[in-house]
């Protein structure tokens, strides 16, 4: 029988339902694998083994008593360290929140508990989700389990690495400009950003409130669909949460793609795209066409402005959201302060200077500048106008196609340290993913191949707002049409 980390989500669920596997046994196996591999990967920043085993025992007791069991059936889950869990350290990868323990659960944590998921621990991330490599974390970088000299992507690199390495079968990340899809591509797993408003952000520590969404990581599309089903739905505590019925996201892998209209964007295949990535993505799209889909070209004329637009809007919102961390109301307070000789501004400056890392400081300064008097209209307001044009481009394209297919990132996983001294090169890692966040539409990354060096490549699919069902169906067909990339070689 395959090890638990080699099995599909379906297989694990069937074994739990049939009593062939207990939640405690599975959770204990995950904890043992974390003990074995996390020292070299640094995917988990904290593990609550006692609480996880107690939660697993509670699910097993319910099953033994014949009680109804939730959708997750006792599956272990990891959560990114920017989602609040009552009494559990939530650092956002930052020294600023080193001692923060929330008094409440995020909405998604409540949903995991309600559907009998077992939360194992918190996953590493770029500081305040600002990064594309999980190298800006105060807890140190996460390493890609396919090759530990390489980055797992970011900012949800810990979640992607944990699922790829089989530390947990499922994980939750957040996506502000590609922070689920890019690490999913780099680590060879499925990662999905839902439509903005589909999943409540209550309890998600804010970075850029109009862009970020919580979404699932899994080894397969069915696992991602299951976890999306669990966390989706209206929450009155989040004013951006949309009050609409959540479909049944159960995915039929055998469903025909006849009639599915796939759009490709010529601009996605220009300068900067690695040849091996392009070949794998085109091969995957050809596989979808062979399965019955039709393929045509669509235009996204304003997509070329996505990176510039994003790096005005996101830092501006970060500047506002992170203003609360002043060492008095919230966050790290400097010890280098003389109350007799220093003023309040000194306390603010030293606390924030010590608490925030270089990338967060850079983005706060960019955002503050863009919002400042005399520059607001020229930068932030103009960026909002371009954002609307980007959304209109997608609306027009989706009048002719059902999904848009293309690369997730220009390259496969780059080496740790390779881009840290070149912020622009790092920002361009998200060139194909950012536009979905600006438009508020869903996107998913599905593994579609390996480079000659043995690093994973992802296919990105995007769909109209609240069309997650169609997106998952197309992703399931892409998954079944491709050749298996094999198990992650970490050991």
Q: 191 is written with which tokens? A: 């990662």
Q: 204 is written with which tokens? A: 């998600």
155 classed as catalytic:
yes
80 classed as catalytic:
yes
The Cα–Cα gap between 130 and 375 comes to 23
Angle of helix 221-231 relative to helix 468-481, nearest 10 degrees? 160
Neighbours of 183 (CB within 10 A): 39
Active-site position among 94, 137, 155, 241: 155
Cβ pair 77, 114 in contact under 8 A: no
179 classed as catalytic:
yes
Q: How is the chain split among helix, strand and coil, in percent rounded to 5?
A: 40, 15, 45
Question: How big is the chain by its Cα radius of gyration, in Å?
Answer: 22
Cβ pair 409, 426 in contact under 8 A: no
- Terminal-to-terminal C-alpha distance of the chain: 18
Active-site position among 80, 122, 193, 419: 80
The Cα–Cα gap between 198 and 237 comes to 13
- What is the chain's length? 491
The Cα–Cα gap between 149 and 226 comes to 32
Active-site position among 23, 132, 174, 179: 179
Cβ pair 181, 431 in contact under 8 A: no
Measured at the CA of 322, the angle between CA 318 and CA 325, to 5 degrees, comes to 170
Sign of the dihedral defined by the CA atoms of residues 360, 362, 364, 370, in that order = negative
Residues known to be catalytic: 80, 155, 179
């Amino acid at each position: 029988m395959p090890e638990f980390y080699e099995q599909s989500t379906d297989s694990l669920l069937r074994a739990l339902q049939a009593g062939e596997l207990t939640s405690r046994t599975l959770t204990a196996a995950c904890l043992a694998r974390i003990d074995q591999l996390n020292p070299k990967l640094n995917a988990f920043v904290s593990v609550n083994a006692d609480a996880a085993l107690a939660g697993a025992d509670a699910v097993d007791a319910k099953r033994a008593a014949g009680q109804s069991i939730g959708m997750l059936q006792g599956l272990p889950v990891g959560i990114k360290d920017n989602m609040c869990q009552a009494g559990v350290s939530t650092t956002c990868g930052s020294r600023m929140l080193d001692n923060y323990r929330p008094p409440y659960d995020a909405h998604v944590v409540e949903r995991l508990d309600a559907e009998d998921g077992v939360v194992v621990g918190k996953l590493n991330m770029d500081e305040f989700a600002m990064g594309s490599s999980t190298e800006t974390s105060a807890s140190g970088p996460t390493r890609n389990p396919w090759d530990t000299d390489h980055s797992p992507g970011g900012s949800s690199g810990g979640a992607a690495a944990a699922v790829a390495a089989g530390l947990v079968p499922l994980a939750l990340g957040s996506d502000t400009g590609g922070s689920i899809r890019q690490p999913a591509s780099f680590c060879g797993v499925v990662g999905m950003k839902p439509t903005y408003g589909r999943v409540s952000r209550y309890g998600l520590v804010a970075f850029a409130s109009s862009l970020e969404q919580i979404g699932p990581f899994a080894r397969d599309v069915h696992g991602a669909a299951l976890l999306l089903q669990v966390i989706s739905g209206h929450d009155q505590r989040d004013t951006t949460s949309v009050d609409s019925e959540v479909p049944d996201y159960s995915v039929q892998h055998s469903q025909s793609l006849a009639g599915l209209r796939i759009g490709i964007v010529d601009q996605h295949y220009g300068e900067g795209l690695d040849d091996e990535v392009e070949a794998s993505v085109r091969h995957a799209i050809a596989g979808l066409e062979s399965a019955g889909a039709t393929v045509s070209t669509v235009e996204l004329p304003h997509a070329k402005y996505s990176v510039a637009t994003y790096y005005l809007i996101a830092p501006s919102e970060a500047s506002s959201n992170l203003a609360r961390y002043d060492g008095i109301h919230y966050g790290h307070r400097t010890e280098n302060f003389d109350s007799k000789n220093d003023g309040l501004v000194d306390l603010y400056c030293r606390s924030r200077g010590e608490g925030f890392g270089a990338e967060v400081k850079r983005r706060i300064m960019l955002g503050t500048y863009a919002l400042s008097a005399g520059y607001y209209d020229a930068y932030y307001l103009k960026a909002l106008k371009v954002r609307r044009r980007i959304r209109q481009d997608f609306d027009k394209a989706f009048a002719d196609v059902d999904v848009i297919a293309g690369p997730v990132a220009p390259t496969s996983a780059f080496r740790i340290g390779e881009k840290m001294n070149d912020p622009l090169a790092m920002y361009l890692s998200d060139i194909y993913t950012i536009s979905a966040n600006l438009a508020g539409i869903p996107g998913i990354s599905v593994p579609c191949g390996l480079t000659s060096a043995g690093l994973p490549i992802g296919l990105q699919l995007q769909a109209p707002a609240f069309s997650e069902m169609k997106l998952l169906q197309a992703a399931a067909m892409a998954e079944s049409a491709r050749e298996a990339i094999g198990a992650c070689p970490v050991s």
